Amino acid sequence: MSERSRRSRFDGRVVLVTGAAGGIGLATARAFAGEGASVVLADRDRERVFAASEGIRDHGGEATAATVDVTDPDSVGDMVTAAVDAYGGLHIAVNNAGIPSAIGGAFEDIDVDDWRQLIDTNLTGTFLCMRAEVPALRAAGGTAIVNTASIQSLVAAPGMPAYIASKHGVAGLTKAAALDLIASGIRVNAVAPGFIETPMLTPVIADPGIRSSLESTAPIGRIGSPDEVAQAILFLASDAAAYIVGTLLSVDGGLAVL
Ligand code: NAI
């Protein structure tokens, strides 16, 4: 594919990305904008998400921002309306907002409020976004939803059952929605990142011992970058993935095959 056609892969497409104030979401928004899309960046962090969209515009991209709390159906509805109002429709949605859990502690001491917050954000938040996006995608002839799952949608790890349950839920939701929506021409898929250097992982890898342990656990021998996940999201959203439906694409340096 030539540079020219790569750059215009998403020309004329309107893309909504949640959790776009930083990390994987921001890298994804930048990548779509760099390839011709008009991008709506949504996040609960108003200041950072508006600065992020301004940064994209400063580099010649087309972008706007919206605040959203993905756990709130009304807020999610307003986000989709804002996206449609901004650019006249919606063609691609990336549901990426998420929170990590504390690691460790006894299973029987899991706080019910913490459990609910994890499930509400990572799983119910993804569902609420998809539910609100589908009518807008149908109306505009939209073609793809990509969710951010996790290596922890495929395998478990000790000390973080709520996060793992939420991300296994995203995997199931992705497959179920893929079947329900394919007749409408909407392909639903997910990426399953491993260890990626984002604000979510920063406090964990600030400890050099933990950083080197994560690096050596990944068969590729390093932590991944948000841009590497973004490229997988763009692929799943592109026409090159026209026959890919309901899959989880691992972007994990080989972790899932260990
Ligand atoms: P991040 O913390 O930079 O990005 C998450 C974004 O979601 C933040 O900007 C945050 O403000 C936003 N957010 C959280 N709750 C929200 C809510 N209720 N409403 C709206 N926005 C909300 O972290 P990262 O790593 O970029 O995370 C993106 C996704 O990738 C998450 O779903 C995460 O679980 C997933 N992931 C990350 C991995 C990593 O190693 N960094 C590995 C596997 C999955």
Our answer on whether the CB atom of 13 is closer than 6 Å to any ligand 1 atom is no
Residue pair 112/38 in contact (Cβ under 8 Å)? The answer is: no
Closest CA to 76 of 93, 64, 63, 91: 93
The answer to whether the CB of 196 is under 6 A from ligand 1 is yes
Q: 131-180 pLDDT, tens per residue?
A: 999 999 999 999 999 999 999 999 999 999 999 999 999 999 999 999 99
Instruction: Quote the ligand 1 centre to 126 CA distance (angstroms).
Output: 12
CA distance 60 to 80: 24
Residue 3 has pLDDT above 60, yes or no: no
142 CB within 6 A, ligand 1: no
Burial class for 144, CB neighbours closer than 10 Å (0-12, 13-18, 19+): buried
The pLDDT confidence band at residue 1, using thresholds 50, 70 and 90, is very low
Per the document, the length of the chain is 258
Whether residue 147 contacts residue 190, with contact meaning beta carbons closer than 8 Å, is answered with yes
pLDDT given at position 88: 98
Its pTM stands at 0.97
pLDDT on residue 7? 55
Res 126: pLDDT = 99
CA of residue 197 to ligand 1 center, whole Å: 12
CA of 99 to the centre of ligand 1 (A): 5
Average pLDDT over residues 176-196: 98
The number of beta carbons lying within 10 Å of the beta carbon of residue 88 is: 10
What pLDDT sits at residue 215? 97
CA of 95 from ligand 1 middle (Å) equals: 10
Out of 163, 167, 178, 189, the active site residue is 163
Catalytic site includes residue 243: no
Q: What is the mean pLDDT of the chain?
A: 96
Task: Choose which residue among 200, 215, 220 to substitute to test ligand 1 binding: the one with the highest number of ligand atoms within 8 A of its C-beta.
Answer: 200
Q: Which amino acid is at 198?
A: T
The arithmetic mean of pLDDT across residues 238-252, rounded, is: 98
**The pLDDT of residue 6 is above 80:** no
Look at residue 134 in the predicted model and tell me its pLDDT: 98
Indicate the helix (H) or strand (E) that contains 107: none
- 135 with 181: CB under 8 angstroms? no
156 in Cβ contact with 167 (< 8 Å): no
